[in-house]
């Protein structure tokens, strides 16, 4: 699926259109997303909240997989591990999802998360998805 097709699928799949996510690129390697951050994504201390970053990592992994297998809405997360490395300020965040494994039943995606206001990554996640039988 192309970035545009993934964006359309994401906007249709959820009642709140894509939670604001913007699919920037997609290819055989995975997918890149951006989240325009607002105050609702913050937490005390002037940083983007952990749940915001975790949700972005999960969505990025899902779309990285769908870019390869097509619009399979019932592919579900089986594992998500995240390391928070730096506190991103209240500014847009981005995610780069790279496929590590795409099997018949499981897919594993490495997701790097950053902020437009940081030079170094803000977090790193590894996400495993279960793919339903076709």
The answer to whether the beta carbons of residues 65 and 131 sit under 8 Å apart is: yes
How distant is the alpha carbon of residue 114 from its chain centre? 11
pLDDT of residue 29: 94
Q: Are 71 and 1 in contact (CB under 8 A)?
A: yes
Q: How many domains does the chain have?
A: 1
Element (H, E) at 107: strand 106-115
Distances, alpha carbon 8 to alpha carbons 18, 46, 60, 91, 95, in Å: 9, 32, 14, 25, 18
Q: What does DSSP say about strands 106-115 and 93-102: parallel, antiparallel, or unpaired?
A: antiparallel
Q: What is the CATH number of the domain that holds 28?
A: 3.10.129.10
Per-residue model confidence as pLDDT tens digits over 36-49: 988 788 888 889 99
Between the CA of residue 87 and those of 9, 94, 103, what are the distances in Å? Answer: 31, 14, 34
pTM score, whole prediction? 0.92
End-to-end CA distance of the chain: 17
- Cα(110)–Cα(25) distance, integer angstroms: 16
| Domain extent at residue 89 | 3-130
Per-residue model confidence (pLDDT) at position 45: 86
10-residue stretch averages of pLDDT, the chain, 134 residues long: 93 74 95 91 88 94 94 88 95 96 96 95 97 85
* CA gap 114, 9 in Å, rounded: 24
């Amino acid at each position: 699926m192309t970035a545009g097709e993934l964006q359309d699928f994401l906007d249709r799949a959820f009642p709140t259109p894509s939670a604001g996510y913007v699919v920037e690129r997609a290819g055989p390697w995975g997918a890149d997303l951006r989240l325009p951050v607002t105050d609702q994504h913050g937490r005390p201390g002037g940083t983007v909240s952990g749940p915001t970053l975790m949700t972005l990592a999960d969505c990025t992994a899902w779309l990285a997989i769908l870019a390869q297998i097509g619009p399979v809405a019932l592919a579900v997360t089986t594992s998500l591990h995240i390391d928070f490395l730096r506190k991103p300020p209240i500014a847009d965040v981005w995610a780069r999802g790279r496929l590590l494994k795409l099997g018949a039943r499981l897919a594993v995606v490495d997701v790097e998360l950053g902020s437009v206001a940081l030079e170094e990554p803000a977090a790193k996640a590894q996400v495993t998805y279960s793919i339903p039988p076709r």
